[in-house]
Amino acid sequence: MILRFIILSIISITSLSAYTPETISQMPHIILIENFLTDIECDYIIEMARPQLKRSKVVDSKGDGKAIVHKARTSDGMFFSSQHSDKILSRIENQIAKLTEIPKENGEAFQVLRYKIGDEYKPHYDYFNLNTPGSSSHLKRGGQRLASVIIFLQDTPKGGATIFPKAGIEVQPIKGNAVIFYNQLPNGMEDPLTLHGGAPVLEGEKWIMVKWLRESEFH
């Protein structure tokens, strides 16, 4: 608690890091943002999340849509349920809304994930498959996922890249950087080129914070 107070006090008198968005792919639409968060902001988020980590789950799209443990995703994770009352998380939400031009009310809760050596997330889509029964309950909470935001909270010495296998793109996990990709095409259809995953960590750990942005207000 003392460390958290010190970190929060330092952050409260500083601004978010000066960042530079760069479009690294048009199809799919992917934006890389270097220095999106400062080192101390990344450390603050990890320190808050660490005690709450549990085995990550995935959406069971073939069943009733509940979250289940699956071998395709072997990380540990947690959600910040009270992010709107945290000054730092709220400020990051505002920055994401400004960058994406999607209201922050459309955002799901921040999720923090830790990948240890050997952990991975096999290629998958963030958008919901409209043809599976388990997706209907999720679509009722705010519609389709328009965009995904991944923020890297720690350097990973080897492995752990965010990969887009259909697009031939890899984004390395560099502390403070973020990547935004849009799950829909301009015509409103889901973009199959957004197939992505987290490559296995080969050395050290990978820490990321994720946010998914919906079509309408998330509830």
pLDDT score of 135 more than 70: yes
Q: What is the pLDDT of residues 192-208, one digit of tens each?
A: 999 999 999 999 999 99
Token pair recorded at residue 217: 């207000």
Q: Please report, for the chain, the start and end positions of each structural domain, with discontinuous segments joined by +.
A: 2-214
Q: What is the pLDDT of residues 29-88, one digit of tens each?
A: 999 999 999 999 999 999 999 999 999 988 776 666 678 888 989 999 999 986 667 999
Whether residue 100 contacts residue 181, with contact meaning beta carbons closer than 8 Å, is answered with no
- What is the CATH number assigned to the segment(s) 2-214? 2.60.120.620
How far is 6 from 38, CA to CA, in rounded Å?
15
Token pair recorded at residue 147: 């965009």
How far is 219 from 179, CA to CA, in rounded Å?
24
Beta bridge partners of 207: 114
Looking at residue 46, its pLDDT comes to 98
Beta bridge partners of 121: 73, 198
CB atoms within 10 A of CB 90: 13
